[in-house]
Amino acid sequence: MNDLFENSAPLDPPREVMAEGAILLRGAALPFAPDILVALDGITARSPFRHMVTPGGYRMSAAMTNCGIAGWITDRHGYRYDRVDPENGFPWPAMPTCFLDLAVSAAADAGYVNFVPDACLINRYDPGARLSLHQDKDEQDFVNPIVSVSLGLPAIFQFGGLTRSDPVCKFAMRHGDVAVWGGPSRLNFHGVAGVKDGHHDMLGSKRINLTFRRAL
């Protein structure tokens, strides 16, 4: 097990400041998790997980799908939002109420009271999958925060600064934890270290991450 998990007490502080405008809310998603996992089955039945390819031809190790008015996609043509799932030609599944309620509640708890997402990127991490440091900058504006929900296997969330070379802080993200960042931290680089093998009672050997954004 990673040292960060070994050295982190089971009862972490309920709120942890990651940076100015960035808050980690421990366990905030737990009341919503059972309904979210049921709704997730309906989403993936219509728009299954897939490994997208970056413009440079790199196959992403995390499998992805979307729900909401728009979905984030990447292919040889670039990074962008689209209202249609390119694999089936239909609109992305609607965002379930339990997804929306969690995103709005967590954002408000972090101080972003007017956030209403229109897009949710859903990532599935199998053991070994990771997400390199990047900025969320494909949205039409950066006024609204990002809400990121961790379910299943634990992972190390990496949160840096406004340039790739800035120091990176590492946070242990467990089932039910929610990270919210906006304002001066809205364009901070962030990523996920390689997920370690393990077992979670609800999700088995995988991690699910929901990233809520206001895209359009």
Over residues 85-108, mean pLDDT: 98
> What is the pLDDT of the chain when averaged over all its residues?
95
* Residue 167: exposure state from Cβ atoms within 10 A (0-12, 13-18, ≥19): exposed
List, for residues 23-34, the tens digit of each pLDDT value.
999 999 999 999
Which tokens hold the place of 10?
């089971």
Residue 200, C-beta contacts closer than 8 angstroms, at least 6 positions apart: 152, 153, 175, 206, 207
Question: Per CATH, the architecture of 3-7+19-46+56-173+180-213 is what?
Answer: Sandwich (2.60)
Neighbour tally for 178: CB within 10 Å: 27
* Phi, psi of 103, rounded to the nearest 5 degrees: -60, -45
Residue percentage of the chain with pLDDT more than 70:
95
Residues 141-178: pLDDT tens digits? Answer: 999 999 999 999 999 999 999 999 999 999 999 999 99
SS3 of residue 26 by DSSP:
coil
Domain boundaries, the chain: 3-7+19-46+56-173+180-213
For residues 3 and 158, the answer to whether their CB atoms sit within 8 Å is: no
Alpha-carbon span 81 to 140, nearest angstrom: 10
> What is the DSSP annotation of 42-100?
HHHHHS--B--B-TTSPBPSSEEEEEES-EEEEETTEEEEESB-TTTSSBPPPPPHHHH
CB-count burial class (<10 Å; 0-12, 13-18, 19+) for 95: buried
pTM summary value: 0.95
Q: Each residue of 61-91: pLDDT tens digit?
A: 999 999 999 999 999 999 999 999 999 999 9
